[in-house]
């Protein structure tokens, strides 16, 4: 069966939106609007899988929404909302909890990283997180999901869940007039020079919201001086820049900064290296500061302007929530019939 092409993706409102989220996800979200209908979600239900201060969570939800808008996502042409406004995500996730196997979830590396050594003390939600992520996507029967490299395994699990649901309920799917398959096998969209932006302090560690050092990341709310300072202090090595990508092997910090430059310039590593072959890091960093500030300063300014108008942001979320729910409710009705739940 051919599914209508639809993009879905989500970002957690856990504070400190950074350059990795921006280059790996949000700028891609913006670009995809030209080709697809898109649904972008602030996943607050995912956020509470680890403790969130109830006084901070609404602020963080509005901040991610403001970042979406400031980067150029059009909430009229597409749908922007926060997850908890559409209860169907949780409802479908329960069905998926009964489709997914323990063995599948036991393999999820993100759970292992986030739970750390004290696994007994992790929330059940943190463990079941990937089934909710599958529900986010499949509640809309989305066909394409732009994400950074770190979400790849969760998208493979989403495909496994879709496939098992389609197989387990094949007869019922047909009997209820939904064709041969009900859920699409969603395609991950992971490409470009910044699918895995690394820490500015250690090129072998992912740039992350939870790194205790603020110098490890560039936050979307950083001002020009802070951006400049963080880039100037970023770890490098003593060699000049090479002329070919092969010369970046075993130089994780150089490779990371080059990738960031290429992504910000909307070009490729090869093109960036042509420009900087043989240059010292001091020269390259000056160019990187100029480019990063030129790209990020207007985003920070617009986010600030929007944060002064939470009423507008809340309207966007309410409007998006209602439109998202209309779609998810149809999917859920069909799922109830397929599974065999008696409904009104």
Is residue 9 near ligand TYM by the rule CB under 6 A? yes
Would you say 140 and 39 are in contact if contact means Cβ atoms under 8 Å apart? yes
Q: How far is the CB of 9 from ligand TYM (least distance, A)?
A: 4
The token duo for 90 is 């949780």
Interacting positions 111-150 with ligand TYM (CB under 6 A)? 133, 136-137, 145, 147-148, 150
Active-site residue, 112 included = no
Distance separating alpha carbons of residues 272 and 258, to the nearest angstrom: 7
Among 70, 95, 197, 303, binds ligand TYM (CB under 6 A): 197
Active-site residue, 250 included = no
Is residue 46 near ligand TYM by the rule CB under 6 A? yes
The span of 9-17, 50-58, 172-180, 236-244 binding ligand TYM (CB under 6 A) equals 9-17
Count the helices and strands in the chain (H runs, E runs).
Answer: 15, 5
The span of 19-27, 112-120, 296-304, 324-332 binding ligand TYM (CB under 6 A) equals 19-27
The token duo for 240 is 């000049």
Q: How many CB atoms lie within 10 A of CB 237?
A: 12
Among 62, 141, 178, 206, binds ligand TYM (CB under 6 A): 206
Cβ neighbors of 46 (< 8 A, separation 6 or more) are 10, 12, 83, 129, 132, 133
Q: How far is the CB of 200 from ligand TYM (least distance, A)?
A: 11
Active-site residue, 206 included = yes
The token duo for 77 is 């042409």
DSSP assignment of 270-310, as one string? HHHHHHHTT--HHHHHHHHHHHHHHHHHHHHHHHHHHHT-H
Among 6, 38, 43, 316, binds ligand TYM (CB under 6 A): 43
What distances in angstroms separate CA 70 from CA 13, 275, 313, one per listed residue?
16, 30, 11
Is residue 151 near ligand TYM by the rule CB under 6 A? yes
Query: Helix, strand or coil for residue 190?
Result: coil
Q: Which residue has the tokens 């309920």?
A: 169
The span of 3-11, 257-265, 295-303, 331-339 binding ligand TYM (CB under 6 A) equals 3-11
Q: How far is the CB of 264 from ligand TYM (least distance, A)?
A: 13
Is residue 203 near ligand TYM by the rule CB under 6 A? no
Active site residues: 114, 206, 209
Residues that bind ligand TYM (CB under 6 A): 8-12, 20-21, 24-25, 43, 46, 133, 136-137, 145, 147-148, 150-151, 154, 194-197, 206-207
């Amino acid at each position: 069966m051919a599914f209508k092409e639809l993009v879905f993706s989500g970002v957690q409102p856990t504070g400190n939106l950074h350059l990795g989220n921006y280059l790996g996800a949000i700028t891609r979200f913006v670009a995809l609007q030209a080709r697809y209908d898109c649904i972008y979600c602030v996943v607050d239900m995912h956020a509470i899988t680890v403790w969130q201060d109830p006084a901070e969570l609404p602020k963080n939800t509005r901040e991610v929404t403001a970042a979406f808008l400031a980067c150029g996502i059009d909430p009229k042409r597409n749908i922007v909302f926060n997850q908890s406004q559409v209860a169907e995500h949780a409802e479908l996730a329960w069905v998926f909890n009964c489709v997914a196997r323990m063995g599948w979830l036991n393999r999820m590396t993100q759970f292992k990283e986030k739970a750390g050594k004290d696994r007994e003390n992790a929330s059940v939600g943190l463990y079941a997180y990937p089934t909710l992520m599958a529900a986010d996507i499949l509640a809309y029967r989305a066909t394409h999901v732009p994400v950074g490299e770190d979400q790849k395994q969760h998208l493979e699990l989403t495909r496994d869940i879709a496939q098992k649901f389609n197989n387990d309920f094949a007869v019922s799917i047909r009997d209820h007039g939904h064709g041969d398959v009900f859920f699409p096998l969603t395609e991950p969209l992971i490409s470009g020079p910044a699918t895995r932006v690394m820490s500015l302090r250690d090129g072998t560690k992912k740039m992350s919201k939870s790194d205790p050092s603020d110098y490890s990341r560039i936050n979307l709310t950083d001002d020009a001086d802070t951006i400049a300072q963080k880039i100037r202090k970023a770890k490098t090595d003593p060699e000049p820049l090479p002329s070919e990508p092969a010369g970046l092997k075993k130089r994780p910090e150089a490779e990371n900064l080059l990738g960031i430059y290429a992504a910000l310039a909307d070009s490729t590593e090869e093109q960036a290296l042509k420009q900087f072959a043989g240059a010292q890091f001091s020269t390259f960093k000056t160019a990187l500061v100029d480019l990063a500030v030129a790209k990020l300063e207007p985003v920070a300014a617009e986010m600030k302007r929007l944060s002064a108008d939470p009423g507008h942001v809340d309207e966007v979320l309410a409007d998006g929530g209602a439109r998202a729910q209309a779609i998810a409710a149809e999917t859920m009705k069909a799922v109830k019939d397929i599974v065999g739940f008696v409904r009104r």
